[in-house]
Amino acid sequence: MSGLDAVGEGPVSSDATESAATGSTGDPSDHPSVAALLERFGDAVLRHRLNAGDQWVVWVDPARSHEILAWLKDDPDHLYDMMSDVTGVDYGKGRPVEVVYQMYSTGHRRALRIRCPLPLDALEIDSVYDLWKSVNWLEREVYDLFGVTFRGHPDLRRILMPSDYAEGHPLRKDFPLRGRFSRAEQTRRALNQDVERYYLAEDIAHGEPQQAPEVGTKASQDGEG
């Protein structure tokens, strides 16, 4: 079987459960951190999986996520000093939204992915900003696009959508392709928006406006060709 066989089979339905994806439970003893998590936090480890041959994924109880992630960062046998990504996944149909942490230990040269499933009626989890400052904007993005609240984040507010965006969270499966408002309402809001919605007054007033050079002047000639 070649790597192109999957292309011929066509796309996989977005409704497929994750168990249908490629991967296996693997042997936890092959990854020191996975084995240690099962031994130390066995009651908080929901399941684990080996994807793509070398990507270990561990699902943990979100109520203990900060404790577990802090241990993975600080324990000498693990030392996950790099949090390279924090993102979210929504599978739709009432299933939990997952917060996903992609980590790497530069000392042990070891990668690990931690996933925390959050029920739709309790989209909250502890921030890990105190552990990795790199998550500042990443947690804000998950908050903005998925609606997950990160408790303890120092500046939790939208980062991609406007602060007064009223249509919800665009990466949720229940979000309409064209938004929740009609095109007419979206256009009306765009035309009526205040420039200070995006820029501070001092930013707008900063400096004198620069006039374009007149045709034929040296400045305009220097810019030709």
Residue-level pLDDT at 205: 57
- The verdict on residue 220 lying in a domain is no
- The verdict on residue 88 lying in a domain is yes
Q: Is the pLDDT of residue 80 over 80?
A: yes
Model pLDDT for residues 33-70, shown as the tens digit of each residue: 999 999 999 999 999 999 988 999 999 999 999 999 99
pTM of the complete model: 0.77
- The domain of 29 spans 20-204
- The verdict on residue 91 lying in a domain is yes
Whether 110 and 81 have beta carbons less than 8 Å apart is answered as no
- The verdict on residue 160 lying in a domain is yes
Residue-level pLDDT at 189: 80
Average pLDDT over residues 92-104: 97
Tell how strand 110-118 and strand 55-60 pair up: parallel
What are the DSSP E strand ranges found in 30-187?
A: 45-51, 55-60, 82-90, 97-105, 110-118, 124-126, 149-151
- The verdict on residue 224 lying in a domain is no
Model pLDDT for residues 1-14, shown as the tens digit of each residue: 455 555 556 555 55
Residue-level pLDDT at 147: 97
- The verdict on residue 141 lying in a domain is yes
**Number of compact structural domains in the chain:** 1
Q: What is the CATH number of the domain that holds 183?
A: 3.30.460.80
